[in-house]
């Protein structure tokens, strides 16, 4: 049941449509949002298009870096705004009175603490009540102290009984009097970039030198120095500064809102533009190097044009982008439907093609976001896709797909079609380098072809444009990275596709052709006759496949595994019966037929157990198709009283018939090799007659109806079989004697 659902998933039409839609939508999402498809431009680049004429008048915007610099300069000239603290000016703030009240309450709390210490011999209940009262009184103070600070204060007062609390109070008042002789602001001077600030006094703005005032940080440092010299204790000094700062009130208060308004007004006055391009004025001339001024004009033109787009223009542009994407995808779909129907009908293969295209589009999209010191456009690994599609599918599909990928990459990069030619050239060369790949290490040879394609096209385009040596050097360095990374990623991604999607490439077939494979070793040891027969079939099939442009490797490896089911009961097959005894002598024809036909089912089970690709497994049932086990069928018909002979389905293989050229070739090779081996004195004429009869019989029985073999193919296959068999039976063939030979004997 799971196998059936898997098959349905591979052939599901709804999933096929979904793959196409999601591919198109994802590519659309990576295209430039509101900009028309045109190349990015940089200073030093040569304008390769026709002269660009302004269709309307527009201002030239400053570069963002220039504008930001001017804004910062304007902001630096804004003086922070402060207002006069009228409460302090009008005497509504009496810091001395507030300090005295606080210190009086503090003295009371200290005295209560001293009394509490004397209660150490009192009952526990009374001590607990007194302690709670002390804690409540301590919390009611205007300033909170932790235990460390409190203990430092008690220690100081008890160690200085002569000075005591009054001396502490006097020093605090003295320090605060000195502080109030200065002008104080409530805003850190480190946050003020100018050397002056403004105040509003009687609705008149005054500018004041920043050095003439102190902020609270400076006041804290001054208090800390003064009090430490007297108290000689860091903890106590910290406590004293905390008390003193509570009763410091600034002369000028920072007006954040008003300052922000003034700053925004100043920023708004900084112009964003510095010039104007009038209607019909030439923006840039063809083959003109782009300088900073031209670049700003081009960016301004694109900005204004996009801003002028209305909702109708927006929808029209997106419809155009969608048509662009789906028309290119449609070309691939048509190619697959018309020329690669097996790939079109396999959703797993469509997912592979889609993922390769999307991966390249994603790399192109990322390259537009990267701001590196190299030519990132050459880090889009288009040759990687050419390698993968060539190895997994074929070179013709790869050629077709690479063209589409190159267009997508250029479009996503904002219409950078200058990169199209280098990508295309490198990809075509790499297709040629891996089309006949024989092992995985050959992937790494392709890096030289990739580099060659890029270097030649980069040099040709750069020389035409008179690009600088540094530009050419950067591009070649990026192309070199591309040529190194593409084979490495191709190696890993190829393994991924083979394992996840069960893709069988020519590389997989070549690995399966190794005689050390467990199944082939078992076949050679348990069924040597079948193994030898399979090897000969491989030679026949490979040569025939070459003649009709089928997959030679697939045909040969399919022969190696087509009869692996015979290892289960090898003695029931004549090619493995070394002695004269025949296991079928004691069996009735129908049972013998079942034993013979069972090797198909056994072979499929063995192949699935060893995870042989489905493309190879297909050879096991298809090389027999729905043929009769003719020997036992005729034997049953000739035996008297055999009723089963009336039902020929008992003696037929279950099929299916061959579905591909390769399985059709192997069906013919199987019958031809077995029958021609039995010819006593083979001659080319006898071999040709036998081959003709077998091919004609299979054709008339309809066994070749479902594969793509044409009459021309069958003729070429016959000639190939004959040529190969003549070579195999050369030592046994007796050629007709010529007249000269006869005369010499006489």
Does residue 500 have a pLDDT over 90? no
Higher pLDDT, 461 or 582: 461
Q: Which residue has 């500018």 as its token pair?
A: 207
Question: 41: pLDDT confidence band, cut at 50, 70 and 90?
Answer: low
Q: Which of 42-51, 197-206, 402-411 has the lowest mean pLDDT?
A: 42-51
In whole angstroms, what is the distance from residue 127 CA to residue 130 CA?
A: 5
Structure token pair of residue 309: 């787009």
Please state at what angle helix 382-392 crosses helix 420-434, rounded to 10 degrees. 30
For 686-691, the CB contacts below 8 A with 24+ separation are 687/722, 687/725, 687/726, 687/729, 688/718, 688/722, 691/718, 691/721, 691/722, 691/725
Mean pLDDT across 60-79 = 87
Mean pLDDT across 203-226 = 88
Question: 449: pLDDT confidence band, cut at 50, 70 and 90?
Answer: very high
Mean pLDDT across 370-393 = 87
704 contact partners, CB below 8 Å, separation of at least 6: 657, 658, 664, 667, 698, 714
Q: What is the pLDDT of residue 323?
A: 94
- β-pairing verdict for 214-215 and 58-61: unpaired
Instruction: Label residue 44 left, alpha or beta by phi (over 0 means left) and psi (-120 to 50 means alpha).
Output: left
Does residue 226 have a pLDDT over 50? yes
Instruction: Label residue 466 left, alpha or beta by phi (over 0 means left) and psi (-120 to 50 means alpha).
Output: left
Q: What is the pLDDT of residue 708?
A: 84
In whole angstroms, what is the distance from residue 356 CA to residue 393 CA?
A: 12
DSSP codes, 675-713 = HHHT-SS--HHHHHHHHHHHHHHHHHTTTTTTS---HHH
Higher pLDDT, 379 or 145: 379
Helix (H, G, I), strand (E, B) or coil at 394: coil
Q: Which of 193-207, 250-264, 309-323 has the lowest mean pLDDT?
A: 309-323
Q: Where are any strands of DSSP class E within 376-482? A: none
In whole angstroms, what is the distance from residue 675 CA to residue 652 CA?
A: 19
Q: Encode burial over 437-449: b for 16+ CB neighbours within 10 A, e otherwise.
A: beebeebeebbeb
Q: What is the pLDDT of residue 163?
A: 59
Does residue 50 have a pLDDT over 80? no
Does residue 78 have a pLDDT over 50? yes
What's the predicted TM-score (pTM) here?
0.62
Does residue 3 have a pLDDT over 70? no
Does residue 57 have a pLDDT over 60? yes
Cα-only R_g, the chain: 47
Helix (H, G, I), strand (E, B) or coil at 704: coil
Q: What pLDDT digit, counting tens, does each position of 506-519 carry?
A: 888 888 988 999 99
Higher pLDDT, 86 or 374: 86
Instruction: Label residue 549 left, alpha or beta by phi (over 0 means left) and psi (-120 to 50 means alpha).
Output: left
> 520: number of CA atoms within 13 Å, CB side?
17
In whole angstroms, what is the distance from residue 663 CA to residue 260 CA?
A: 82
Could you give the domains of the chain? 2-34+339-503 (1.10.1760), 81-93+143-263 (no CATH), 508-732 (1.10.3210)
Compute the mean pLDDT over every residue in the chain, rounded to the nearest whole number.
Answer: 83
680 contact partners, CB below 8 Å, separation of at least 6: none
Helix (H, G, I), strand (E, B) or coil at 270: coil
Does residue 296 have a pLDDT over 70? yes
Q: What pLDDT digit, counting tens, does each position of 89-133 carry?
A: 777 778 888 888 888 877 777 777 766 666 555 444 444 555 566
Q: Which of 5-9, 316-320, 327-331 has the lowest mean pLDDT?
A: 5-9
In whole angstroms, what is the distance from residue 358 CA to residue 354 CA?
A: 6
Question: 457: pLDDT confidence band, cut at 50, 70 and 90?
Answer: very high
Q: Is 701 exposed, middle or buried (0-12, 13-18, 19+ CB in 10 A)?
A: middle
The percentage of the chain sitting over the pLDDT mark of 90, rounded to a whole number, equals 30
Name the strand (E) or helix (H) holding 84. Answer: strand 81-84
Q: What pLDDT digit, counting tens, does each position of 352-377 carry?
A: 999 999 999 999 999 888 777 678 88
Give the distance, in angstroms, between the CA of residue 344 and the centroid of all CA atoms in the same chain. Answer: 24
Q: Which of 382-396, 433-447, 569-583 has the lowest mean pLDDT?
A: 569-583
Does residue 417 have a pLDDT over 60? yes
User: Which has the closest alpha carbon to 668: 559, 509, 549, 523?
Assistant: 559
Q: What is the pLDDT of residue 130?
A: 53
Q: What pLDDT digit, counting tens, does each position of 640-659 carry?
A: 555 544 566 788 888 899 99
Mean pLDDT across 271-300 = 85
Q: Which of 119-123, 358-362, 448-452, 691-695 has the lowest mean pLDDT?
A: 119-123
Structure token pair of residue 303: 């900005």
Question: 746: pLDDT confidence band, cut at 50, 70 and 90?
Answer: very low
- β-pairing verdict for 196-201 and 52-53: unpaired
DSSP codes, 32-57 = -SSS-S-----TT-B--SSPEE-SS-
The Cβ of residue 283 has, within 10 Å, a number of other Cβ atoms equal to 18
Q: Which of 23-27, 220-224, 442-446, 703-707 has the lowest mean pLDDT?
A: 442-446
Does residue 734 have a pLDDT over 80? no
Mean pLDDT across 401-414 = 92
Range from 91-100, 297-306, 346-355 that averages highest in pLDDT: 346-355
Q: What is the pLDDT of residue 540?
A: 94
Q: Which residue has 């998933």 as its token pair?
A: 9
Rounded (10°) CA dihedral 119, 122, 123, 127: -10
The Cβ of residue 638 has, within 10 Å, a number of other Cβ atoms equal to 10
Helix (H, G, I), strand (E, B) or coil at 636: helix
- β-pairing verdict for 282-284 and 52-53: antiparallel
């Amino acid at each position: 049941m799971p196998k059936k659902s898997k098959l349905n998933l591979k052939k599901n039409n709804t999933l096929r449509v979904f793959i196409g839609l999601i591919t198109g939508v994802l590519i659309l999402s990576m295209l430039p949002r509101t900009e028309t498809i045109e190349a990015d431009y940089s200073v030093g680049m040569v304008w390769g298009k026709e002269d660009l004429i302004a269709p309307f008048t527009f201002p030239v915007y400053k570069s963002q870096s220039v504008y930001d610099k001017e804004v910062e300069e304007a902001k630096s000239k804004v003086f922070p705004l402060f207002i006069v603290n009228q409460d302090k000016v009008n005497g509504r703030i009496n810091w001395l009175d507030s300090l005295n009240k606080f210190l009086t309450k503090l003295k009371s709390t200290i005295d209560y603490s001293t009394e509490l210490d004397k209660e150490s011999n009192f009952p526990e209940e009374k001590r607990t009540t007194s302690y709670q009262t002390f804690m409540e009184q301590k919390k009611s103070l205007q300033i909170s102290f932790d235990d460390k600070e409190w203990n430092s204060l008690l220690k100081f007062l008890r160690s200085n009984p002569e000075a005591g609390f009054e001396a502490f109070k006097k020093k605090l008042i003295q320090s605060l009097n000195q502080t109030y002789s200065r002008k104080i602001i409530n805003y850190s001077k480190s946050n003020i970039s100018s050397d002056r600030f403004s105040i509003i006094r009687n609705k008149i703005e005054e500018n004041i030198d920043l050095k003439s005032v102190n902020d609270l940080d400076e006041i804290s440092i001054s208090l800390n120095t003064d009090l430490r010299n007297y108290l000689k204790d860091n903890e106590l000094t910290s406590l004293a500064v905390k008390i003193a700062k509570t009763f410091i009130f600034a002369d000028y208060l920072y007006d954040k809102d008003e300052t922000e308004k003034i700053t925004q007004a100043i920023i708004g006055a900084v112009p964003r533009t510095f010039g104007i391009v009038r209607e019909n004025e030439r923006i840039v001339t063809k083959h003109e190097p782009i300088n900073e001024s031209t670049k700003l004009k081009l960016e301004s033109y694109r900005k204004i044009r996009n801003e002028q787009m209305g909702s109708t223009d927006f929808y029209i542009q997106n419809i155009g982008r969608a048509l662009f994407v789906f028309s290119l995808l449609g070309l691939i779909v048509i190619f697959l439907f018309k020329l690669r129907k097996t790939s079109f009908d396999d959703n797993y293969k469509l997912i592979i093609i889609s993922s390769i295209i999307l991966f390249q589009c994603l790399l192109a999209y990322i390259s537009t976001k990267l701001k590196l010191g190299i030519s990132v456009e050459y880090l889009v690994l288009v040759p990687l896709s050419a390698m993968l599609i060539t190895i997994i599918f074929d070179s013709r599909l790869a050629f077709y797909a690479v063209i589409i990928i190159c267009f997508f990459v250029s479009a996503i990069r904002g219409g950078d079609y200058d990169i199209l030619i280098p990508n295309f050239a490198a990809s075509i060369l790499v297709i040629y380098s891996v089309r006949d790949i024989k092992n995985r290490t050959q992937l790494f040879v392709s890096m030289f072809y990739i580099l060659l394609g890029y270097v030649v096209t980069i040099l040709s385009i750069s020389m035409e444009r008179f690009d600088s040596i540094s530009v050419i050097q950067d591009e070649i360095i990026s192309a070199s990275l591309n040529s190194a990374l593409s084979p490495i990623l191709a190696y890993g991604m190829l393994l991924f596709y083979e394992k996840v999607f069960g893709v069988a490439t020519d590389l997989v077939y070549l690995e399966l052709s190794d005689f050390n494979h467990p199944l082939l070793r078992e076949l050679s040891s348990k069924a040597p006759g079948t193994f030898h027969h399979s090897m000969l079939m491989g030679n026949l099939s490979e040569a025939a496949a070459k003649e009709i442009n089928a997959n030679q490797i697939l045909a040969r490896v399919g022969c190696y595994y087509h009869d692996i089911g015979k290892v289960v009961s090898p003695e029931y097959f004549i090619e493995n019966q070394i002695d004269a005894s025949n296991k079928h002598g004691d069996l009735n024809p129908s049972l013998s037929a079942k034993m013979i036909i069972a090797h198909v089912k056994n072979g499929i089970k063995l192949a699935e157990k060893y995870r042989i690709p489905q493309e190879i497994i297909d050879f096991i049932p298809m090389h027999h198709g729905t043929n009769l086990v003719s020997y036992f069928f005729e034997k049953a018909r000739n035996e008297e009283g055999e009723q089963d002979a009336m039902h020929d389905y008992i003696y037929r293989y279950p099929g299916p018939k061959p579905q591909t050229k390769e399985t059709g070739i192997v069906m013919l090779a199987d019958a031809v090799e077995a029958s021609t081996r039995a010819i006593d004195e083979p001659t080319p004429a006898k071999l040709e007659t036998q081959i003709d009869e077998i091919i004609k019989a299979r054709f008339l029985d309809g066994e070749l109806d479902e594969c793509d073999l044409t009459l021309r193919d069958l003729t070429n296959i016959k000639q190939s079989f004959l040529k190969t068999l003549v070579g195999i039976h050369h030592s046994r063939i007796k050629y007709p004697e010529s007249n000269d030979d006869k005369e010499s004997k006489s």
